[in-house]
Chain A
Amino acid sequence: MSLLAPVAGLGRATLGLLAALGRVAFFAGQVLSHMLRPPFYLREFLHAVMQIGWFSLPVVGMTAVFTGGALALQIYSGGARFNAELVVPNIVAIGMVRELGPVLGGLMVAARVASSIAAEIGTMKVTEQIDALVTLSTNPIKYLAVPRVAAATLTVPVLVAVGDAIGIVGGWLVSVNRLGFNSATYLQSTVNFLEGWDITSGLIKGAVFGFIVALMGCYHGMTSGRGAQGVGQATKSAVVAASVMILATNYLLTGLFFTS
Chain B
Amino acid sequence: MIALRQVTRSFGRNAVLRGVSLDIPSGQSMVIIGGSGTGKSVLLKCILGLVRPDGGTITLDGQDVTKVERDAFLARFGMLFQGGALFDSMRVWENVAFRLLRGGAKQSKAEARDRAIEKLRRVGLTPDVADLYPAELSGGMQKRVGLARAIAAEPEIIFFDEPTTGLDPIMAGVINALIREIVTEMGATAITITHDMSSVRAIADKVAMLHAGVIQWTGSVGELDTTPDPYVQQFIHGRAEGPIAAIR
Contacts and interface: CB of A to CB of B under 8 A. Distances in A.
Interface in B61-82: 70-71, 74-75, 77-79, 81-82
Contacts of B50: 131, 134-135
A137 B83 contact: no
A132 interface: yes
A200 interface: no
Contact of B48 (A39, A124, A129, A135): A135
B182 interface: no
B74 A135 contact: yes
Interface stretch (B98-106, B192-200, B206-214, B218-226): B98-106
Name the prevailing secondary structure of the B interface residues: loop
A195 interface: no
Interface string A217-228: 000000000000
A132 B99 contact: no
B146 to A, nearest CB: 9
Nearest to B77: A135
A74 interface: no
A135 B83 contact: no
A241 B80 CA distance: 36
B85 interface: yes
A138 B50 CA distance: 12
A135 B102 contact: no
B83 A128 contact: yes
Contacts of B81: 128, 131-132
B85 A129 contact: yes
* Interface size classification for chain A: 10 to 19
Interface string B85-109: 1111000000000110011000000
A132 B87 contact: yes
A248 interface: no
Given A137-B71, A137-B75, A131 B103 contact: no
A185 interface: no
A129 B87 contact: yes
B66 to A, nearest CB: 14
B45 interface: yes
Contact of B98 (A127, A131, A136): A136
Contacts of B49: 134
Contacts of A132: 79, 81, 85-87
B142 to A, nearest CB: 11
B99 A136 contact: yes
22 contacts: A39-B102, A39-B103, A127-B83, A127-B85, A128-B81, A128-B85, A129-B86, A129-B87, A129-B88, A131-B50, A132-B87, A134-B48, A134-B49, A135-B74, A135-B77, A135-B78, A135-B79, A136-B98, A136-B99, A136-B149, A137-B99, A138-B98
Given A127-B85, A131-B85, A134-B50, 7 more contacts: A39-B102, A39-B103, A128-B85, A132-B81, A132-B87, A137-B99, A138-B98
